[in-house]
């Protein structure tokens, strides 16, 4: 059963239900029909006998009988019985016969006269008698004639009479119901196959994409907006996201190897050059300092890459708690003010009691990245202003400097990974600081933007949701 296709399973269920419904219909039709048939037979019997009641007359004397007369006359108890020619002794398989009180058949037909010989007359009542496995209905009427008593009309009809009609209906049902079931099953199977074809296409496309690994492929179902088209659209969206993720991953790996190649080349070149001949102590020291600087750069790059990857790929590993932002900003500013690079002054203007839900480590990192950039791209004797305040539904964190500024065309690019607008000032920069800040802002449901004027300075503003 498990290995059967959905198409076949649906058809099987459909067939079972149909056969069940058909059988029920058959049973219901059969029993209702039988009851109706029995009632019709009994009604017919009563009507025929009642119609015959007035067709029998008794005369003490009659004159000369007209030779044209077609009615039947018989001598009875010193008089005559006249049986009208309208007397129905056999109509629609209903037999009517005239009896005397001692159950002597006087006129008419009775197919079971022998068996009913002992059956007492019961006026206007239906009696049953089974003869040779056939059920007979018997209806008696006592005749009240002028001058004569003790005559009975007895009507007899067998149930077989109705059963022949029932058998015809049953045969029709037996022929047409299975035919109807077969037609419905074939129709249902074709319909299910047509309806489920898109699923087959989806599964084939998914298998093809899985085999070829080509995430650019999409499932094409043509026009429509039913559940299957929506499913295909969801698959396509998933492939798009996978493709984006792989592309990002590929780009990241290529950028990372590119960034690592520079310090490695510098170290290798420095070593080769220094080892070419015997050098003075000062020259060796110079070479070692270059190697040390490049080593630090590599180390920072690797750490930044690891942090960045963790935030991008496993953001859920960073927990959220209630963070006292006032205290956090003050503490980071206090630590970073100690840098005192280029004689830059760091000030902070912080609103009291600002709290938000977030990750303390990431928020410190965000602020530290922005402040290090402000130092790195700041001017000698310049200043940095860090601000924190509550705005609307969020918290606004800003870092403003009066450094070299950023060209307008660069301002949208600086948040990209490894993008460095100004190499001359980048020093130990890796090009990951702002993209990391961007990711951290996103993690907190916030955003980051820059306002800057070349030669005058830059202001980075982060809006974080509380």
Residues that bind ligand ADP in the complex, under the rule CB under 6 A: 373-374, 376-377, 401, 403-406, 414, 419-422, 426, 429-435, 458
Min dist. Cβ of residue 348 to ligand ADP (A)? 16
Closer residue to ligand ADP (CB): 71 or 341: 341
Min dist. Cβ of residue 237 to ligand ADP (A)? 30
Closer residue to ligand ADP (CB): 47 or 379: 379
Closer residue to ligand ADP (CB): 205 or 369: 369
Closer residue to ligand ADP (CB): 87 or 415: 415
Closer residue to ligand ADP (CB): 108 or 378: 378
Q: What is the DSSP letter of 123?
A: B
How far is the CA of 73 from the CAs of 50, 65, 121, 312, 444, in angstroms? Answer: 21, 9, 24, 118, 117
C-beta atoms surrounding 453 within 10 Å:
12
Min dist. Cβ of residue 271 to ligand ADP (A)? 26
Closer residue to ligand ADP (CB): 80 or 419: 419
Closer residue to ligand ADP (CB): 198 or 378: 378
d(CA 61, CA 64): 10
What's the helix, strand, coil split of the chain in %, to 5? 50, 20, 25
d(CA 371, CA 340): 12
Min dist. Cβ of residue 358 to ligand ADP (A)? 21
Min dist. Cβ of residue 303 to ligand ADP (A)? 12
d(CA 201, CA 209): 12
| DSSP per residue, 258-311 | HHHHHHHHHHHHHHHHHHTS---HHHHHHHHHHHHHHHHHHHHHHHHHHHHHHH
| DSSP per residue, 154-221 | EEEEETHHHHHHHHHHHHHHHHHHHHHHHHHHHHHHHHHHHHHHHHHHHHHHHHHHHHH--TT-----
Question: What sign does the dihedral 117-119-122-124 (CA atoms) show?
Answer: negative
Closer residue to ligand ADP (CB): 11 or 373: 373
What is the radius of gyration, based on Cα positions, of the chain? 54
Min dist. Cβ of residue 366 to ligand ADP (A)? 11
Min dist. Cβ of residue 374 to ligand ADP (A)? 5
d(CA 431, CA 445): 23
Q: Tokens in use for 158?
A: 């067998």
Closer residue to ligand ADP (CB): 193 or 379: 379
Min dist. Cβ of residue 247 to ligand ADP (A)? 20
HSE-up of 180 (CA within 13 Å, CB side)? 13
Min dist. Cβ of residue 337 to ligand ADP (A)? 16
Q: Hey, is 347 helix, strand or coil?
A: strand
């Amino acid at each position: 059963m498990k290995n059967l296709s959905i198409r076949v399973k649906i058809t099987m269920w459909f067939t079972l239900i149909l056969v069940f419904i058909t059988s029920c219909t058959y049973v219901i039709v059969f029993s209702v029909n039988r009851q109706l048939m029995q009632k019709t037979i009994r009604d017919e019997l009563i009507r025929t006998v009642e119609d015959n009641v007035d067709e029998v007359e008794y005369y003490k004397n009659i004159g000369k009988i007209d030779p044209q007369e077609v009615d039947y006359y018989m001598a009875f108890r010193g008089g005559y019985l006249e049986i009208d020619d309208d007397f129905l002794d056999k109509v629609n398989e209903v037999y009517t016969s005239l009896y005397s009180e001692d159950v002597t058949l006087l006129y008419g037909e009775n197919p079971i006269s022998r068996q009913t010989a002992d059956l007492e007359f019961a006026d206007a009542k239906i009696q049953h008698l089974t003869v040779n496995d056939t059920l007979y209905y018997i209806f008696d009427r006592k005749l009240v004639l002028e001058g004569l008593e003790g005559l009975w009309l007895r009507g007899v009809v067998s149930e077989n009479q109705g059963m022949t009609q029932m058998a015809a209906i049953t045969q029709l049902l037996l022929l047409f119901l299975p035919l109807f079931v077969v037609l419905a099953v074939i129709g249902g199977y074709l319909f299910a196959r047509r309806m489920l074809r898109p699923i087959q296409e989806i599964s084939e496309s998914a298998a093809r994409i899985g085999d070829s690994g080509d995430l650019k492929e999409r499932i094409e179902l043509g026009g429509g907006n039913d559940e299957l088209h929506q499913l295909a659209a969801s698959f396509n969206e998933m492939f798009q996201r996978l493709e984006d993720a792989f592309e990002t991953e590929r780009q990241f790996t290529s950028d990372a190897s590119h960034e690592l190649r520079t310090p490695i080349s510098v170290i290798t070149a420095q070593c080769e050059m220094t080892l070419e001949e015997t050098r003075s102590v000062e020259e060796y020291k110079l070479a070692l300092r270059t190697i040390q600087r490049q080593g630090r750069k590599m180390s920072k790059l690797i750490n930044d890459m690891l942090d960045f990857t963790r935030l991008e790929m496993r953001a859920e590993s960073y927990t959220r708690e209630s963070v006292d932002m006032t205290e956090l900003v003050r503490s980071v500013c206090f630590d970073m003010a100690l840098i005192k690079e280029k004689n830059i002054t760091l000030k902070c203007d912080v609103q009291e009691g600002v709290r938000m839900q977030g990750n303390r480590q990431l928020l410190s990192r965000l602020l530290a990245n922005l402040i290090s950039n402000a130092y790195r791209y700041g001017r000698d004797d310049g200043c940095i202003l860090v601000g924190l305040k509550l705005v609307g539904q969020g918290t606004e964190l800003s870092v403003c400097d009066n450094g070299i500024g950023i060209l307008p065309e660069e301002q949208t690019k600086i948040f990209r990974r490894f993008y460095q607008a100004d190499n001359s000032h980048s020093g130990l920069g890796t090009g990951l600081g702002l993209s990391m800040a961007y990711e951290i802002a996103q993690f907190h449901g916030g955003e980051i933007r820059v306002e800057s004027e070349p030669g005058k300075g830059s202001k980075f503003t982060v809006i974080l949701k509380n």
